[in-house]
Amino acid sequence: DVAILVTGGDGQGAALRGDYARSGAGFMVDQGWDGYKAADHALWRALYDRQSALMARYAAPAFIDGLKRLDARDGIPDFRRTSEVLHRAMGWTLVAVPGLIPEKDFFDHLAARRFPVTNWLRRPEEMDYLVEPDVFHDFFGHVPLLTHRVFADYLAAYGAKGAQAIALGGQEALARLYWYMVEFGLIATPDGLRAYGAGMLSSRGETRFCLDSPEPHRIGFDLERVMRTRYRIDDYQRTYFVLDSYDQLFQATGADFAPVYARLKGLPDIAPTTLLPTDRVFTRGRQVGCP
Ligand code: HBI
Ligand code: FE
């Protein structure tokens, strides 16, 4: 039964909410845009307004630019329309999926410049938090940066690395790279640190926490450091990694990861709260209340 399980980051699994029975190749489904109700669009606008109000202070300039270009405030966007805009800009399209899909299919979509977007919206009582990605997380969080040349190219290059990772036992390392640099990435700008990750920018609480809180570490990006660091899926992150530029991320994926995975096999994982002497520290977190 495909609906049962997709294994999350560090091995945690969960039952999934979407309708997987209707999905075809690559778990693609019809978005079913005509099926959204007025209440769904209203909830979208509430989420959108709440979140977009925070962006000027917290989000990276490239994210803010992309969000404006998507013109998605009025209601849950029709992916066919957004795909036209994205395809003209960067060669990406959006495909609807029922929710989390197996890693292999996920990587294949990214490599083909198709971004999988969940087609259902959370319930009103889940405004602040839900476990699985929904259309608000996937679209508001991820799609704006698909309008940015370098980041869009990075994400496709990332997807193209999936098959090798699966063959060499590097999935965990590759998944951590996604988690820290696509879901929860920070970037240094002339005005200070800014967030560009979908995980924090689709969450009202973590948008503020990731930049304002004295608790988490903020450490300069280093590919192998990121790949060795475990992460939490049930709470705000204890460490965020900081890019100097999206180019830095793209350059890092230019390397062959086979020797990287081989090296990582001999090295221990790093806990989410650990700071190493070799880290380039932007801020050292207090890590209060963390084991
Ligand atoms: N499926 N729809 C969806 N969205 C994701 O972000 C996603 C996924 N499947 C697997 C997956 N992410 C992770 O394993 C990534 O770390 C690769
Ligand atoms: Fe995501």
Q: What is the number of the ligand 1 atom nearest to the C-alpha of 142? A: 6
Owner of token pair 């000027």: 56
Residue 110 belongs to a domain? yes
Whole-number Å distance, alpha carbon 277 to ligand 1 midpoint, is 32
CA-closest residue to ligand 1 atom 2: 100
CB atoms within 10 A of CB 253: 18
**Contact by Cβ (8 Å): 114, 97:** no
- Which CATH number belongs to the domain containing residue 240 in this structure? 1.10.800.10
Instruction: Please check whether residue 240 lies inside any domain of the structure.
Output: yes
290 within a domain of the structure (yes/no): no
Does some domain include residue 149? yes
Query: In degrees rounded to 5, what are phi and psi of residue 116?
Result: -75, 125
Flag whether 30 is in a domain.
yes
What is the DSSP annotation of 234-258? SS--SEEEEES-HHHHHHHTTS-SH
Query: Is 288 inside any structural domain?
Result: no
Residue 220's SS3 state is strand
Average pLDDT of the segment spanning 106-111: 98
Residue whose CA is at the smallest distance from ligand 1 atom 7? 100
pLDDT given for residue 14 in this prediction = 58
Q: Residue 283 and residue 190: Cα distance in Å, rounded?
A: 16
Q: Tokens at residue 1, please?
A: 């039964």
The domain in which residue 24 lies consists of: 6-283
Ligand 1 pocket check: which of 17, 27, 100, 145 to mutate, most ligand atoms within 8 Å of Cβ?
100
Give the total number of structural domains in the chain: 1
Residues in the ligand 1 pocket, defined by CB under 6 Å: 6, 97, 100-101, 103, 106, 116, 133, 175, 178
Segment 188-220, tens digit of pLDDT: 999 999 999 999 999 999 999 999 999 999 999
Distance 169 CA to ligand 1 centre (A): 17
- pTM of the entire structure? 0.94
Q: Is 8 exposed, middle or buried (0-12, 13-18, 19+ CB in 10 A)?
A: middle
Residue type, 180: Y
> Buried b / exposed e across 125-144, counting CB within 10 Å, b at 16+?
eeeeebebbbbbbbbbbbbb
Atom of ligand 1 nearest to the CA of 7: 14
Pocket perturbation via mutation, ligand 1, pick of 10, 27, 103, 143 by most ligand atoms within 8 A of CB: 103
Asked if 195 and 235 touch (Cβ cutoff 8 Å), the reply is no
Mean pLDDT of 55-83: 97
Beta strands 114-118 and 93-97 are: parallel
Answer whether residue 125 is part of any domain: yes
Asked whether residue 170 is assigned to any structural domain, the reply reads yes
For residue range 214-240, list pLDDT tens digits in order. 999 999 999 999 999 999 988 999 999
Nearest atom in ligand 1 to the alpha carbon of residue 99 is 2
pLDDT at 1: 30
